[in-house]
Amino acid sequence: MRRFEGKVALITGASRGIGRGIALCLAEEGADIVINYRSHADEARQVAEEVQRLGSRALVWQADVADMAAVAAMVAGAVEHFGHLDIVVANAASHKRAALIESNWEDDRHTFEVSMFGVMHTCKFGAQQLVRQVQSGRPGGKIIIIGSLHQETAFHRYSAYNMSKAAISHLGRTLAAELLPYRINVNMINPGWIDTPGERAMFGDQYIDEGHRFCPWGRLGTPRDIGKAVAYLASDDADYVTGATLLVDGGMKLTAAAVSEQ
Protein backbone atom coordinates (compact mmCIF):
# COMPACT_ATOMS: atom_id res chain seq x y z
CA MET A 1 0.00 0.00 0.00
CA ARG A 2 1.41 3.39 -1.06
CA ARG A 3 -0.73 5.91 0.79
CA PHE A 4 1.53 8.86 0.02
CA GLU A 5 1.95 8.57 -3.73
CA GLY A 6 2.34 12.10 -5.14
CA LYS A 7 2.87 13.66 -1.71
CA VAL A 8 5.92 15.47 -0.35
CA ALA A 9 7.13 15.19 3.25
CA LEU A 10 9.69 17.45 4.95
CA ILE A 11 11.37 15.90 7.98
CA THR A 12 13.79 17.80 10.20
CA GLY A 13 16.70 15.93 11.72
CA ALA A 14 16.24 13.16 9.14
CA SER A 15 19.84 12.04 8.66
CA ARG A 16 19.79 9.49 11.49
CA GLY A 17 17.78 8.03 14.34
CA ILE A 18 14.06 8.72 14.55
CA GLY A 19 14.12 11.16 11.62
CA ARG A 20 15.69 8.55 9.36
CA GLY A 21 13.10 5.99 10.44
CA ILE A 22 10.30 8.41 9.60
CA ALA A 23 11.78 9.27 6.21
CA LEU A 24 12.06 5.62 5.18
CA CYS A 25 8.59 4.67 6.39
CA LEU A 26 6.99 7.50 4.42
CA ALA A 27 9.13 6.79 1.36
CA GLU A 28 8.08 3.12 1.43
CA GLU A 29 4.53 4.32 0.91
CA GLY A 30 5.36 6.63 -1.96
CA ALA A 31 6.20 10.01 -0.43
CA ASP A 32 8.97 12.16 -1.84
CA ILE A 33 11.20 13.24 1.03
CA VAL A 34 12.98 16.45 2.01
CA ILE A 35 15.81 15.25 4.26
CA ASN A 36 16.89 18.01 6.60
CA TYR A 37 20.14 17.73 8.50
CA ARG A 38 22.47 20.06 10.38
CA SER A 39 25.82 18.29 10.69
CA HIS A 40 25.61 14.70 9.40
CA ALA A 41 25.93 15.26 5.65
CA ASP A 42 27.17 11.78 4.73
CA GLU A 43 24.38 10.09 6.64
CA ALA A 44 21.81 12.43 5.07
CA ARG A 45 23.03 11.42 1.61
CA GLN A 46 22.78 7.76 2.62
CA VAL A 47 19.15 8.29 3.63
CA ALA A 48 18.53 9.95 0.25
CA GLU A 49 19.97 6.91 -1.52
CA GLU A 50 17.73 4.60 0.50
CA VAL A 51 14.68 6.75 -0.30
CA GLN A 52 15.52 6.57 -4.00
CA ARG A 53 15.94 2.79 -3.84
CA LEU A 54 12.39 2.68 -2.50
CA GLY A 55 11.19 4.45 -5.64
CA SER A 56 10.71 7.94 -4.21
CA ARG A 57 12.51 11.20 -4.86
CA ALA A 58 14.77 12.84 -2.26
CA LEU A 59 16.03 16.34 -1.62
CA VAL A 60 18.83 16.78 0.95
CA TRP A 61 18.80 20.18 2.66
CA GLN A 62 21.27 21.45 5.25
CA ALA A 63 19.72 23.84 7.76
CA ASP A 64 19.99 24.49 11.47
CA VAL A 65 16.38 24.59 12.66
CA ALA A 66 17.41 27.02 15.38
CA ASP A 67 17.95 29.57 12.57
CA MET A 68 14.52 30.90 11.62
CA ALA A 69 15.67 32.29 8.27
CA ALA A 70 17.27 28.96 7.38
CA VAL A 71 14.02 27.12 8.05
CA ALA A 72 12.06 29.60 5.94
CA ALA A 73 14.53 29.09 3.09
CA MET A 74 14.29 25.31 3.44
CA VAL A 75 10.50 25.28 3.16
CA ALA A 76 10.65 27.63 0.17
CA GLY A 77 13.36 25.48 -1.44
CA ALA A 78 11.35 22.29 -0.93
CA VAL A 79 8.33 23.83 -2.63
CA GLU A 80 10.45 25.20 -5.48
CA HIS A 81 11.94 21.75 -6.02
CA PHE A 82 8.83 19.57 -5.69
CA GLY A 83 6.05 22.08 -6.38
CA HIS A 84 4.17 21.60 -3.13
CA LEU A 85 4.39 20.30 0.44
CA ASP A 86 1.94 17.93 2.13
CA ILE A 87 3.51 16.61 5.34
CA VAL A 88 5.73 18.47 7.80
CA VAL A 89 7.44 16.52 10.58
CA ALA A 90 9.17 18.62 13.25
CA ASN A 91 11.58 16.04 14.63
CA ALA A 92 14.98 17.69 15.21
CA ALA A 93 16.04 17.97 18.84
CA SER A 94 19.13 18.37 20.99
CA HIS A 95 19.97 18.18 24.67
CA LYS A 96 22.73 17.67 27.22
CA ARG A 97 22.01 15.71 30.36
CA ALA A 98 22.32 17.80 33.54
CA ALA A 99 20.30 18.72 36.59
CA LEU A 100 19.13 22.33 36.59
CA ILE A 101 21.41 23.36 39.46
CA GLU A 102 24.41 21.89 37.60
CA SER A 103 23.64 22.94 34.02
CA ASN A 104 25.25 25.86 32.23
CA TRP A 105 23.28 28.41 30.27
CA GLU A 106 24.96 27.76 26.94
CA ASP A 107 23.87 24.12 26.98
CA ASP A 108 20.36 24.99 28.15
CA ARG A 109 20.00 27.70 25.53
CA HIS A 110 21.10 25.35 22.76
CA THR A 111 18.50 22.84 23.91
CA PHE A 112 15.81 25.52 23.79
CA GLU A 113 16.95 26.85 20.42
CA VAL A 114 16.80 23.45 18.73
CA SER A 115 14.24 21.43 20.67
CA MET A 116 11.73 24.23 21.28
CA PHE A 117 12.30 27.16 18.91
CA GLY A 118 13.42 24.88 16.09
CA VAL A 119 10.09 23.09 16.28
CA MET A 120 8.29 26.43 16.38
CA HIS A 121 10.12 27.63 13.25
CA THR A 122 9.38 24.39 11.41
CA CYS A 123 5.70 24.51 12.32
CA LYS A 124 5.39 28.21 11.50
CA PHE A 125 6.79 28.10 7.98
CA GLY A 126 5.35 24.69 7.24
CA ALA A 127 1.89 25.89 8.29
CA GLN A 128 2.19 29.06 6.23
CA GLN A 129 2.88 26.98 3.13
CA LEU A 130 0.05 24.54 3.81
CA VAL A 131 -2.39 27.42 4.34
CA ARG A 132 -1.33 29.01 1.04
CA GLN A 133 -1.98 25.71 -0.69
CA VAL A 134 -5.43 25.36 0.87
CA GLN A 135 -6.26 28.87 -0.27
CA SER A 136 -5.26 27.91 -3.81
CA GLY A 137 -7.44 24.81 -3.79
CA ARG A 138 -5.13 22.02 -2.56
CA PRO A 139 -6.40 19.85 0.33
CA GLY A 140 -5.04 20.60 3.79
CA GLY A 141 -1.85 18.85 4.83
CA LYS A 142 -0.46 17.29 7.99
CA ILE A 143 1.91 18.61 10.65
CA ILE A 144 3.39 16.15 13.12
CA ILE A 145 5.52 17.15 16.09
CA ILE A 146 7.86 14.58 17.62
CA GLY A 147 7.72 15.20 21.33
CA SER A 148 8.85 12.80 24.03
CA LEU A 149 7.80 10.86 27.08
CA HIS A 150 9.84 13.61 28.78
CA GLN A 151 6.88 15.91 28.19
CA GLU A 152 4.80 13.75 30.51
CA THR A 153 7.35 12.47 33.03
CA ALA A 154 9.88 14.44 35.10
CA PHE A 155 12.98 12.45 34.21
CA HIS A 156 15.91 13.51 36.38
CA ARG A 157 18.74 15.59 34.88
CA TYR A 158 16.78 16.69 31.82
CA SER A 159 15.30 19.98 33.00
CA ALA A 160 15.82 22.02 29.82
CA TYR A 161 14.81 19.13 27.57
CA ASN A 162 11.73 18.28 29.66
CA MET A 163 10.72 21.94 29.53
CA SER A 164 11.20 22.10 25.76
CA LYS A 165 9.15 18.99 25.11
CA ALA A 166 6.32 20.20 27.36
CA ALA A 167 6.31 23.52 25.51
CA ILE A 168 6.09 22.05 22.02
CA SER A 169 3.25 19.79 23.09
CA HIS A 170 1.14 22.83 23.96
CA LEU A 171 2.37 24.58 20.82
CA GLY A 172 0.99 21.66 18.83
CA ARG A 173 -2.43 21.86 20.45
CA THR A 174 -2.52 25.62 19.90
CA LEU A 175 -1.54 25.31 16.25
CA ALA A 176 -4.13 22.56 15.76
CA ALA A 177 -6.82 24.96 16.99
CA GLU A 178 -5.55 27.79 14.80
CA LEU A 179 -5.55 25.62 11.68
CA LEU A 180 -9.01 24.10 12.13
CA PRO A 181 -10.57 26.43 9.52
CA TYR A 182 -8.11 25.09 6.92
CA ARG A 183 -8.60 21.40 7.72
CA ILE A 184 -4.87 21.04 8.40
CA ASN A 185 -4.20 18.32 10.96
CA VAL A 186 -1.63 18.92 13.69
CA ASN A 187 -0.73 16.05 16.01
CA MET A 188 2.04 15.03 18.36
CA ILE A 189 3.89 11.78 18.99
CA ASN A 190 5.63 11.13 22.30
CA PRO A 191 8.22 8.37 21.84
CA GLY A 192 9.53 6.41 24.77
CA TRP A 193 13.09 5.10 24.93
CA ILE A 194 14.26 4.63 21.33
CA ASP A 195 17.48 2.96 20.23
CA THR A 196 19.19 5.73 18.23
CA PRO A 197 22.79 6.79 17.56
CA GLY A 198 22.28 9.71 19.93
CA GLU A 199 21.22 7.45 22.80
CA ARG A 200 24.17 5.16 22.15
CA ALA A 201 26.57 8.10 22.14
CA MET A 202 25.16 9.34 25.45
CA PHE A 203 24.87 6.05 27.36
CA GLY A 204 27.20 3.65 25.55
CA ASP A 205 26.42 0.53 23.57
CA GLN A 206 26.44 -1.83 26.53
CA TYR A 207 23.85 0.16 28.48
CA ILE A 208 21.58 0.43 25.43
CA ASP A 209 21.99 -3.26 24.60
CA GLU A 210 20.94 -4.10 28.16
CA GLY A 211 18.18 -1.47 28.20
CA HIS A 212 15.51 -4.07 27.54
CA ARG A 213 15.70 -4.87 31.27
CA PHE A 214 14.09 -1.50 32.01
CA CYS A 215 11.46 -1.72 29.27
CA PRO A 216 8.10 -3.33 30.07
CA TRP A 217 7.74 -4.41 26.42
CA GLY A 218 11.03 -6.29 26.68
CA ARG A 219 12.89 -4.10 24.19
CA LEU A 220 13.72 -0.50 23.36
CA GLY A 221 11.70 1.15 20.65
CA THR A 222 13.11 1.54 17.16
CA PRO A 223 13.03 4.51 14.77
CA ARG A 224 10.73 2.41 12.61
CA ASP A 225 8.21 2.18 15.46
CA ILE A 226 7.96 5.97 15.39
CA GLY A 227 8.01 6.08 11.59
CA LYS A 228 4.97 3.81 11.41
CA ALA A 229 3.12 6.02 13.90
CA VAL A 230 3.95 9.08 11.80
CA ALA A 231 2.70 7.29 8.70
CA TYR A 232 -0.65 6.76 10.38
CA LEU A 233 -1.03 10.39 11.45
CA ALA A 234 0.13 11.62 8.04
CA SER A 235 -2.38 9.46 6.19
CA ASP A 236 -6.04 9.90 5.31
CA ASP A 237 -6.77 7.27 7.97
CA ALA A 238 -6.17 10.03 10.53
CA ASP A 239 -8.29 12.64 8.74
CA TYR A 240 -10.48 13.14 11.83
CA VAL A 241 -7.57 13.31 14.28
CA THR A 242 -6.11 16.70 15.24
CA GLY A 243 -4.66 18.17 18.41
CA ALA A 244 -3.96 14.66 19.70
CA THR A 245 -0.88 13.13 21.29
CA LEU A 246 0.02 9.54 20.49
CA LEU A 247 2.21 7.85 23.10
CA VAL A 248 4.52 5.28 21.49
CA ASP A 249 6.54 3.93 24.40
CA GLY A 250 5.86 0.21 24.84
CA GLY A 251 4.29 0.94 28.23
CA MET A 252 7.32 2.75 29.61
CA LYS A 253 5.25 5.57 31.09
CA LEU A 254 3.77 2.99 33.44
CA THR A 255 7.22 2.30 34.90
CA ALA A 256 8.96 5.63 34.21
CA ALA A 257 9.78 6.33 37.84
CA ALA A 258 12.01 3.27 38.02
CA VAL A 259 13.87 4.18 34.80
CA SER A 260 14.27 7.79 35.96
CA GLU A 261 16.33 6.62 38.92
CA GLN A 262 18.93 4.86 36.72
Full pLDDT tens readout for the chain, 262 residues: 689 999 999 999 999 999 999 999 999 999 999 999 999 999 999 999 999 999 999 999 999 999 999 999 999 999 999 999 999 999 999 988 899 999 999 999 999 999 999 999 999 999 999 999 999 999 999 999 999 999 888 888 999 999 999 999 999 999 999 999 999 999 999 999 999 887 888 888 898 888 888 899 999 999 999 999 999 999 999 999 999 999 999 999 988 654 444 4
pLDDT at 262: 47
Q: Is 1 contained in some domain?
A: no
CB 192 within 8 A of CB 252: yes
Rounded Cα–Cα distance for residues 107 and 72 (Å): 25
Residue 210: C-alpha distances to residues 178, 213, 228 (Å): 44, 6, 24
CB-based burial, 112-126: b 16+ in 10 Å, e otherwise: bbbbbbbbbbbbbbb
pLDDT of residue 260: 47
One-letter identity of residue 224: R
In a domain, 26, yes or no: yes
pLDDT at residue 256, as a whole number = 62
CATH number of the domain that residue 140 is part of: 3.40.50.720
Q: Write phi, then psi, for 219 (nearest 5 degrees).
A: -160, 160
Tell me whether residue 101 is in a domain.
Answer: yes
Assigned domain for 3 exists: no
Whether 204 is in a domain gets the answer: yes
Residue pair 36/17 in contact by the 8 Å Cβ criterion: no
Active-site residue, from 37, 158, 161, 240? 161
Instruction: Tell me if 74 is assigned to some domain.
Output: yes
Q: Domain range spanning residue 172?
A: 8-260
SS3 assignment for 163-227: HHHHHHHHHHHHHHHHCHHHCCEEEEEEECCECCHHHHHHHCHHHHHCHHHHCCCCCCECHHHHH
d(CA 47, CA 180): 33
Overall number of domains in the chain: 1
Concerning whether 161 is annotated as a catalytic residue, the answer is yes
Which residues are 144's β-sheet partners? 89, 187
**In this structure, is residue 2 part of a structural domain?**
no
Q: Is residue 171 part of a domain?
A: yes
